Structure 1
């Protein structure tokens, strides 16, 4: 009965968002309240559960998400992202242009959220394609693959960071395993899949694109942008800090060396996501601004715009947390755990499957990941599955089969001037490839670690 209630709730959520065009955050709160009542949570406690869900989710995530948005905005507005892209593309040359685009998009994708990275990189892709006389889609697929992989697998992006908290996974280990899986996944879904896409929809590769859909673009002169080294270091700084803490812990455990408590505390301190993002932001203010003599007022304007742009996304994530909390309080997670305890189905596969079904129904990768994590977390605890790999599997499932209920589908269609069929054969297919390969990578690592 519990799963029937959840299923009805998801259908109602789908209707509210797609049919009635109601705001996603409001829809999530309404459905969370309705599902909570149906699950038997006392009516006088429902709002308290919803508030607890929103608070617990945003309490951990607001720092990372907020600082991450500002960091990405500073890198973008300074021309750092432009410098990274152009330098790598010039370095690799025409023959390896797809690899250059993939690497540039991957680096930028770590610092910028998916939609921002897409809007930033497409004009660069269009310019390079025009100069080299090649298809924009030939470069667009690797770009989208890299941005999507970082969005789904790697902290400090919203979904992997949020579900890492739900699963109580070490963020550093999520980052380490995520990198191991993300790199081959991006190669398969990017340059490799492009070869198949050209055979399936050859006409799509003749499109000229629609750069007007991006609106007015900021123009950069390469000589006026920050250097490649400092731009790359700034974009990757949070990853480096979290990686240092993770590697230190792994070395400490494997080599069993005697360590200093103060050193342990200091390294753990800088490696926590919130602190890593704060230090990275301060570094970006200096490297992308002060060091280049950009007025502090201009830097603060960029920061304000970044926060404004993510305000609704923060609320949506909070709404996802409310829905998750209702499922937990209503006993749905325990019911699912009991239901699958006697089956041999891996929690990794189950997490991927739940996230995949929710993604197809709801469109939002973040909401799908949060809801799926709330359902399977008791099962993960019961089986002792590696929580970092559960994060990767859930993130992979939440990317599958992006279609007409996902904003990314329409963005890709409009920017590359594709038909619906061509968008399914390119964008939807590459998202599905990422999802399946990501699951395979999580299962393979689960056999080793």
Structure 2
């Protein structure tokens, strides 16, 4: 049974990493090969399947994570990240620093991918941890939860946007309705989770090399205007491109250039160039020092990228093994609410495959015929599928490994923190969809 294979592979991975203390990159590849053999993938095809998985994941991630880490390290080594962190601490105080992180993450995360927004904000979170002496998860976890919610629930993020097209739903309405679910659910979980006893027991250290250990004087730090401008520059480019596309359409004159500049890799590359100048020659720092900051960031990212890539290989083996088709056949005859069915299928696929994209598109393909004549708003079906796809993030999800490595957690602690919060977000999202359906029906909309 394919789902049993998934369960046993997760157990094997946990055993290799927790009991045998095997490196995550090696453990993921070993389990991926074993699953490929069990699933009947031809031996001569297994290397290609692994390579495609690693290549697809690294291709999507390396430029964003690598450039983002360099921007963060340049800002950290110049004192710019400390300047922003100090201003946030002064304005909000230690008591409200979590609220500051949630608000910042939600505003940036509305239009930016989880990975992009994460690498932009996390240097500030690291600096706040050093300044305040707070637990890393006390400050970093609310940021991650808020970003996960925005990325998974709302267009213009890729999953909800693709599903909106399949259901012929309005992107604008989906975003409008989704905010009523994402903001309260995300804020509630973001502020609650760091306070739970099992999370408070975790006290991870900041990963070496991702942030400067130096404490700057006020005179040594760049001005707040420059620090904030560089931090927000990629946000403006990426968000501006998304807004322009929604307002003018992707085929409008000049949109090709806007889309190019607003793509995450190009936006971050331009930001890095700006950061190198603004926090280098502009303030009298030699370019060699700035280049050393970029090199240090690249070295620190090497193992993180290897683990994320191996997670992509594991995911691809599960996809190529036909588990998505098995689940689709299994759920074809279920006669339950279309909203609940779409959510369940997306959640099951997410557990089995780790890929939110595969989960939402497959679940939507099954649920699309059920919408006609059901009286359910297509925008709510989009939200139901999107909410289901965030559930149960675990070891077959490359995003899980990014979360684990950046927060320097053990596998078990990462499961306790991330798998639980993504599942609760998914359940709260489903409840929100049902509540919105009832409200719209009551209003006769």
The one of 122, 129, 142 equivalent to 2:129 is 122
Q: Distance in 1 between matches of 2:384 and 2:76?
A: 31
In the comparison of the two structures, how many residue pairs are matched? 393
Aligned 8 A contact 2:81 2:123 in 1: no
Is 1:301 aligned to residue 292 of structure 2?
yes
Q: Normalization by structure 2: what TM-score?
A: 0.70
- Shift, 1:50, TM fit: 1.0
Structure 2 CA distance for partners of 1:264 and 1:101, relative to 1, 3 Å: closer
1:133 maps to: none
Q: Distance in 2 between matches of 1:275 and 1:87?
A: 29
Is 1:188 aligned to residue 188 of structure 2?
yes
1:416 maps to: none
Q: Determine helix, strand or coil for the equivalent of 1:59.
A: helix
User: How much is the aligned-residue C-alpha RMSD, in angstroms?
Assistant: 4.7
Aligned 8 A contact 1:73 1:112 in 2: no
Structure 2 CA distance for partners of 1:193 and 1:286, relative to 1, 3 Å: same
The one of 101, 104, 117 equivalent to 1:110 is 117
How do 1:194-213 and structure 2 match up within 5 A? none
Q: Write the deviation string for residues 401-444 of structure 1: whole angstroms up to 9, x where unpaired.
A: xxxxx96899689xxxxxx9xx99xx957984565246534774
Aligned 8 A contact 2:29 2:310 in 1: yes
More displaced, 220-229 or 305-314?
Answer: 220-229
Q: Distance in 1 between matches of 2:308 and 2:149?
A: 17
2:367 maps to: 383
2:224 maps to: 228
Is 1:10 aligned to residue 10 of structure 2?
yes
Q: Write the deviation string for residues 332-357 of structure 1: whole angstroms up to 9, x where unpaired.
A: 111112212333444445444665x6
Runs of 5+ consecutive residues of structure 2 not aligned to the other structure: 110-115, 165-170, 369-377, 396-402, 441-445
1:249 maps to: 245
Q: Write the deviation string for residues 342-373 of structure 1: whole angstroms up to 9, x where unpaired.
A: 33444445444665x68xxxxxxxxx844x65
2:82 maps to: 82
Structure 2 CA distance for partners of 1:382 and 1:304, relative to 1, 3 Å: farther
Q: Determine helix, strand or coil for the equivalent of 2:216.
A: coil
The one of 307, 311, 315 equivalent to 1:320 is 311
Q: Distance in 2 between matches of 1:77 and 1:181?
A: 38
Q: Distance in 1 between matches of 2:86 and 2:426?
A: 29
Q: Write the deviation string for residues 79-118 of structure 1: whole angstroms up to 9, x where unpaired.
A: 2221112112223457756544655787799353787665
Q: Distance in 2 between matches of 1:71 and 1:190?
A: 26
How do 1:7-156 and structure 2 match up within 5 A? 7-92=7-92, 99-100=99-100, 110=117, 112=119, 119-126=126-133, 136=134, 143-149=139-145, 152-153=148-149
